[in-house]
Structure 1
Amino acid sequence: MNPQEKLIKLKEFLRNLKSAVIAFSGGVDSTFLLKVAHEVLGDQVIAVTARSSTYPERELNEAKQYAKDMGVKHIVIVSEELEIEGFSKNPTNRCYFCKHELFSKVRDVANEHHMLHVLDGSNYDDLGDFRPGMHAAKELHVVSPLREMGLTKDDIRVLSKDMELPTWNKPAFACLSSRFPYGQEITPEKLKMVDLAEQYLLDLGFRQIRVRHHDQIARIEVASTEREKFFDIKVMDQIGTKLKEIGFTYVTLDILGYRTGSMNEVLSEDIKNNKGISK
């Protein structure tokens, strides 16, 4: 089935929902979902974005602008993951705690505004990654229309470009908590270090970046096509100096470049298959 055919099915699926609140991050997937849902359901759609220390201000501001441009009612809530018991210890099912907190609060908004469903922007490709947050979504009856209709990330980017959405080529983003090895404590200070380091790289013109926090070490991942920028000694010195000012002792470049979920590479297959994970 081609992307356009999937889009037709998606619109029909959304129409049958009647009304919905969408967990809206301002990323590629949730922006596409919000656009299509608003087109189909009109004012029976509300976007909800959570403000927290794991979500950079730049991303929040973009989400606000996208919702405003679409003319969608947008509500910003507070969902501070570091206050959730067990979250800051960074267990392998960390995302379960985060998503359960988020979707519970989005569900409250839906109830308050008499909306029938809560939706998220998970896509079909997400089924192939380690995502404990999906357990929380299932428990709280969150609907994932993009995944249900078999829409992949590539499909969504193609359709977003056709719709002239500004996010069609937006780099992938995940919350800042994903920058820490499992078992390493997450603190506001460490999150700030990562945020500042990544913002600095973005300001230098890098697009797809991650700064992984390995205690004293910053491990920089950039898109494969951007690695050659580090061949410039002045650029390396500039980045190294800045990240040391931010608080890192050592600054390294991951020569394999950016890849989704690189922190999951150390997990056993049992954990990846969600076996033995307590909730």
Structure 2
Amino acid sequence: MVSMDFFPGVGRLGVAFSGGVDSSVLLALAVRDLGRDRVVAVLGVSPSLAADEREAAHAVARFIGVAVVEVTTFEGDRDAYRANGPDRCFHCKDELFTRIADEVVTAYRLDAVAYGENADDAQRPDRPGSRAATQHRVLRPLADAGLDKAAVRRLAREFALPCADKPAAPCLASRIPHFQPVSREKLAQVERAEAALRGLGFQDLRVRHHGDVARIELPPADLVRAVADPLRAEVHKAMLAAGFRFAAVDVAGVQSGAFTLPLVQRA
């Protein structure tokens, strides 16, 4: 287990918590170093958070031994967020950190707020949420310690976290192509489609929203299974039930930053 001072000068800490591997490791480290009575897990709740992700986050926090404080975020009320440009994540994180500052910091007497950016994410050009963290003076202990994705996964296993092998699960808005407006209806549609696929036994997945078309991203090992009988008909039926007219399986597999990276790399 890595031993270093992740939180120098911090007495009470709020962790922007999603239940993903990064924020869960950050929460576990905070509890280890500061004590559970000095740590608050803060979960932002909005239509961009899938219901099963919300439940899973609470389960991980219970395992770590920290109560979750939920804050309702209203990024969907922001014109710039709904417009869905490459900076959409900035507006989402700015809303989250603003709500935490307004509703949690004083109420829980926090000295600082931290979030789970790791060293790999810190090098990527498609993470505008990092700019919001900087503006709100939110700490990023994992990145500052040089912990990359692989190191964070190792720590998750050492802590025996239930999410240690969980695939990355970006917010539902990331499934909508940039410059196509984000709406509650589209987010709900994607959530229904992805929940149905998980019910069919798929775990690492994305359903990209292209109007009438659901473009399904799966790891290479799952591609054949998704288009072969008997699951092929079930996958198609699930996408229709979610409100799409057509279902397409993308042979490129799961693609992190599929919509944002091409835009920011071209800039």
Please say whether Structure 1 and Structure 2 have the same fold, judged by a TM-score greater than 0.5. yes
Q: Spell out, residue by residue over 1:140-192, the C-alpha distance to the aligned partner (whole angstroms, 9 max, x if none).
A: 00000001001111111111112211111011010000001100011111111
- The residue correspondences of 1:81-92 to structure 2 (distance < 5 A) are 81-92=75-86
What residue identity is the alignment partner of 1:62?
A: A
Which one has the bigger helix percentage?
1
- Is the CA contact (8 Å cut-off) linking 1:22 and 1:47 kept in structure 2? yes
Distance in 1 between residues matched to 2:123 and 2:214, nearest whole Å = 27
Distance in 2 of aligned mates of 1:266 and 1:217: 21
Residue in structure 1 matching 2:15, options 22, 44, 55: 22
Counterpart in the other structure of 2:190? 194
**Aligned mates of 1:71, 1:13 — CA distance in 2:** 19
* Residue of 153, 156, 170 corresponding to 2:166: 170
Q: Which whole-Å deviations, capped at 9, do the CAs of 1:98-129 have from their partners, x for residues lacking one?
A: 00000111223112221110100010110233
**Misfit runs of 4+, over 4 Å:** none
2:121 to 121, 126, 134: 126
User: What's the counterpart of residue 151 of structure 2?
Assistant: 155
For residue 227 of structure 1, give the secondary structure of its aligned residue in structure 2: helix
How far is 1:247 from its partner?
1.3
* Mapping of residues 1-279 of structure 1, within 5 Å: 4=1, 7-9=2-4, 12-42=5-35, 43-108=37-102, 109-129=104-124, 130-271=126-267
C-alpha separation between the residues in 1 aligned to 2:264 and 2:28? 38
How many pairs does the alignment contain?
264
Give the stretch that moved more between structures: 129-138 or 73-82: 73-82
Secondary structure of residue in 2 paired with 1:262: coil
| Residue in structure 2 matched with residue 277 of structure 1 by the alignment | none
CA distance in 2, matches of 1:52, 1:61: 13
Moved more, 14-23 or 138-147: 14-23
Q: TM-score, normalised by structure 1?
A: 0.90
- How far did residue 207 of structure 1 move? 0.9
Please state how far the C-alpha of 1:265 moved relative to its aligned partner.
Answer: 4.3
**Whole-angstrom distance in 2 between the partners of 1:102 and 1:30:** 15
Distance in structure 1 (CA, Å) of the matches to 2:234 and 2:67: 42
Provide structure 2 residue ranges, at least 5 long, that are not aligned to the other structure.
none
Amino acid at match of 2:59: Q
Aligned Cα root-mean-square deviation (Å): 1.4
In structure 2, relative to structure 1, the CA distance for the partners of 1:15 and 1:269 (3 Å cut) is closer
Deviations 1:9-53 (Å, cap 9, x if unpaired)?
2xx122532221000000001011101101111111111001110
| Distance in structure 2 (CA, Å) of the matches to 1:53 and 1:140 | 23
* Partner SS, residue 122 of structure 1: coil
Alpha-carbon distance in 2 for matches of 1:69, 1:235: 34
Contact 2:206–2:254, Cα closer than 8 Å, also in 1: yes
Q: Secondary structure at the match of 2:110?
A: coil
Distance 1:118 1:225 in 2: 39
Quick one: distance in 1 between partners of 2:140 and 2:14? 12
Take 1:81 and 1:111, find their aligned partners in 2: how far apart are those partners?
A: 22
Q: Distance in 2 between matches of 1:231 and 1:93?
A: 35
Q: How many angstroms apart in 2 are the aligned matches of 1:84 and 1:231? A: 39
Question: What secondary structure is seen at the aligned counterpart in 2 of 1:263?
Answer: coil
